[in-house]
């Protein structure tokens, strides 16, 4: 980055600081992952300059031959990888992709049925603070007392409410999703089934999670999580979806452009194409398998320390932990873990009695640390460190009163950065990270 260093040393230094921070810590937020140098090179390529409104062979500007070629390449690779007949690779990210699907198929106030945000769903699956909750009628479903999707309740709700779209997929759900059952429910009430596989796309490719292709009408995925590509998204239509509505792909194309977006980010499209090629080779399947192996070992070890995992464990890449029994708040724990060099995110748990900004739980996962090459042995050590951190802050009683909470939080943030125990763990974390450098 010699040109950047010369032109803007301030931004150059910030990038270098971020590189150092990431290199020295354990990135365990399950939606984060590290891309290959090849993906990053495509993302920073000459395609950054270009405007390509429209679709391949149907553009509004001249000079589009190679933009067409790279978009068609990304489409064909996605079709082959996931086994679908139609793909749109232009959505800027997951939220715009879901919005395009809704605007393609729904009228304002039509019913969407999705997993409640408070139970692990995504903002765009019907949260009242999201466009999805503001423009459409939302029928949320929840988890049962075990922390598992209650498919019988989903079916009962669907029969009563008759939604136009049913969404299966989540942002904080650690178990296998029964796409077949969801497909049967959707068919029973005449709804479109949208499978949001943003978190698990790479696991599906690696065949460690079932695919929704035979059961869903539409599939949306981001490309930057377990798929290990650039930040972006794809919308796929299945054979089942085209059988239901032969113009489903055309409707989605029109909703993406010109409905919601202008020109696609051709550099992003090129990088997605690279990531899809990488995901098609045998080593990616091994990688996906290791993600799940690591998550399961981590879950087992944390359970041994008395941590309460929602649903009792994991089938995929993520863990959701309720810290109530440890008398630790999720926001407090996430900050303390960061000081110790372990990066997770605070997260609400089912039936959480605390507000979203100060929830009872934390969410973590294994994609990024698996990308670095860490395996089961490292998971055992990470669980030990996490337990030590939680124990270190177990006496930090989080006030229920809002004003008292503000004072507590201010004081805690000032004091925790100097905690000797946590700083000692952070040095141990750095030593581990040195053995697994970012490639």
Instruction: Name the nearest CA neighbour of 409 among 364, 363, 354, 340.
Output: 354
Pick the CATH number of 44-279 from 3.40.190.10, 3.40.50.1370, 3.30.70.920, 3.40.640.10: 3.40.640.10
CA distances from 20 to 3, 8, 53, 182, 213 (A): 20, 19, 38, 44, 40
Count how many residues are written for the chain. 439
The pLDDT of 45-60, averaged and rounded, is 96
Cis peptide bond prior to 258, omega within 30° of 0: yes
Res 355: pLDDT: 85
**Which pLDDT value is given to residue 395?**
78
Q: What is the mean pLDDT of residues 206-230?
A: 97
**Which pTM does this prediction carry?**
0.94
pLDDT in tens, 232-252: 999 999 999 999 999 999 999
Mean predicted confidence (pLDDT) in 280-290: 97
Predicted confidence (pLDDT) per residue in 11-24, tens digit: 999 999 999 999 99
User: What is the spatial distance between Cα 126 and Cα 139, in angstroms, rounded to a whole number?
Assistant: 8
Give percent of the chain above pLDDT 90: 89
Where is average pLDDT lowest: 54-58, 59-63, 133-137? 133-137
End-to-end CA distance of the chain: 16
Instruction: Provide the pLDDT confidence category of residue 357 given band limits of 50, 70 and 90.
Output: confident
pLDDT tops 90 at residue 369: yes
Residue 314's closest CA among 216, 209, 181, 201?
209
pLDDT > 90? residue 269: yes
- Taking only the tens place, the pLDDT of each residue in 102-137 is 999 999 999 999 999 889 888 888 888 888 888 999
pLDDT score for 97: 96
On whether the CB atoms of residues 123 and 132 are closer than 8 A, the answer is: yes
The pLDDT value recorded for residue 354 is 86
Supply 190's token pair.
Answer: 């005449």
Residue 105: its pLDDT value, please? Answer: 96
**pLDDT at 112 (0 to 100):** 96
- Strands in 318-322's sheet, in edge-to-edge order, are 308-309, 318-322, 361-365, 345-347
pLDDT of 420 strictly over 80: yes
The answer to whether the CB of 388 falls within 8 A of the CB of 423 is no
**pLDDT of 107:** 94
pLDDT in tens, 135-171: 999 999 999 999 999 999 999 999 999 999 999 999 9
**Catalytic residue annotation:** 51, 53, 196, 222, 225, 231
Angle at Cα 359 formed by Cα 226 and Cα 158, nearest 5°?
65
pLDDT for 403: 83
167 contact partners, CB below 8 Å, separation of at least 6: 112, 113, 114, 115, 121, 125, 126, 194, 195, 196
Which of 69-73, 200-204, 404-408 shows the lowest mean pLDDT across its residues? 404-408
Backbone dihedral angles phi then psi of residue 213, each to the nearest 5 degrees: -60, -35
Distances (CA, A) of 324 to 65, 302, 329, 331: 58, 15, 7, 12
Q: Is 397's pLDDT higher than 80? A: no
Instruction: Please report, to the nearest 10 degrees, the dihedral formed by the alpha carbons of residues 284, 286, 288, 289 taken in order.
Output: 170
Q: Report domain extents, the chain.
A: 44-279, 282-434
How high is the pLDDT of residue 127?
85
Q: What is the DSSP string of 162-226?
A: --SEEEE--SS--S---HHHHHHHHHHHT-EEEEE-TTTHHHHHTTSS--STTT-SEEEEESSST
Higher per-residue confidence, 180 vs 400 = 180
Residue 85: its pLDDT value, please? 98
Pair of tokens at residue 262: 């202008």
Rama region for 393: left / alpha / beta (φ>0; ψ in -120 to 50; rest): alpha
Contact between 398 and 411 under an 8 Å Cβ cutoff? The reply is: no
pLDDT at 220: 98
Residues 282-434, CATH architecture: Alpha-Beta Complex (3.90)
């Amino acid at each position: 980055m010699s040109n950047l260093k010369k032109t803007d040393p301030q931004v150059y230094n910030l990038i270098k600081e971020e590189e150092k921070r990431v290199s020295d810590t354990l990135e365990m937020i399950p939606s984060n992952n590290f891309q290959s140098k090849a993906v990053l090179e495509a993302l920073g390529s000459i395609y950054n300059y270009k405007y390509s409104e429209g679709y391949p062979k149907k553009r509004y500007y001249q000079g589009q031959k190679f933009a067409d070629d790279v978009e068609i390449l990304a489409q064909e690779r996605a079709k082959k990888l996931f086994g679908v007949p139609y793909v749109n690779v232009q959505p800027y990210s997951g939220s715009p992709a879901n919005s395009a699907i809704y605007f393609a198929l729904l009228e304002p106030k039509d019913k969407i049925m999705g997993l409640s945000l408070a139970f692990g769903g995504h903002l765009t699956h019907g949260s009242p603070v999201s466009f999805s909750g503001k423009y459409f009628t939302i029928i949320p479903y929840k988890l049962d007392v075990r922390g598992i999707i209650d498919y019988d309740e989903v079916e009962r709700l669907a029969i009563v409410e008759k939604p136009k779209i049913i969404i299966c997929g989540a942002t904080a759900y650690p178990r296998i999703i029964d796409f077949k059952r969801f497909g049967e429910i959707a068919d029973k009430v005449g709804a479109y089934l949208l499978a949001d596989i943003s978190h698990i796309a790479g696991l599906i490719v690696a065949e460690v999670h079932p695919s929704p292709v035979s059961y869903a009408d539409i599939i949306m995925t981001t490309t930057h999580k377990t798929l290990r590509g650039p930040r972006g998204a794809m919308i796929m239509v299945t054979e089942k979806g085209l059988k239901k509505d032969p113009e489903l792909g055309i409707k989605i194309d029109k909703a993406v452009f010109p409905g919601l977006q202008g020109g696609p980010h051709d550099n992003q499209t090129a990088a997605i194409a690279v990531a899809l090629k990488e995901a098609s080779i045998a080593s990616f399947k091994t990688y996906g398998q290791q993600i799940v192996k690591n998550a399961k070992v981590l879950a087992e070890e944390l359970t041994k320390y008395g941590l309460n995992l929602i649903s009792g464990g994991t089938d995929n890449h993520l863990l959701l932990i309720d810290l109530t029994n440890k008398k630790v708040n999720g926001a407090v724990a996430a900050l303390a873990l960061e000081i110790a060099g372990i990066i997770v995110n605070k997260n609400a748990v089912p039936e959480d009695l605390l507000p979203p900004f100060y929830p009872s739980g934390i969410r973590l996962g294994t994609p990024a640390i698996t990308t670095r090459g860490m395996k089961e042995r490292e998971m055992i050590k990470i669980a030990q460190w996490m337990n030590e951190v939680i124990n270190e802050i177990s006496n930090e009683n989080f006030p229920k009163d809002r004003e008292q909470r503000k004072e507590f939080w201010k004081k805690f943030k000032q004091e925790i950065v100097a905690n000797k125990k946590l700083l000692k763990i952070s040095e141990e974390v750095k030593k581990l990270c040195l053995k697994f450098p970012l490639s």
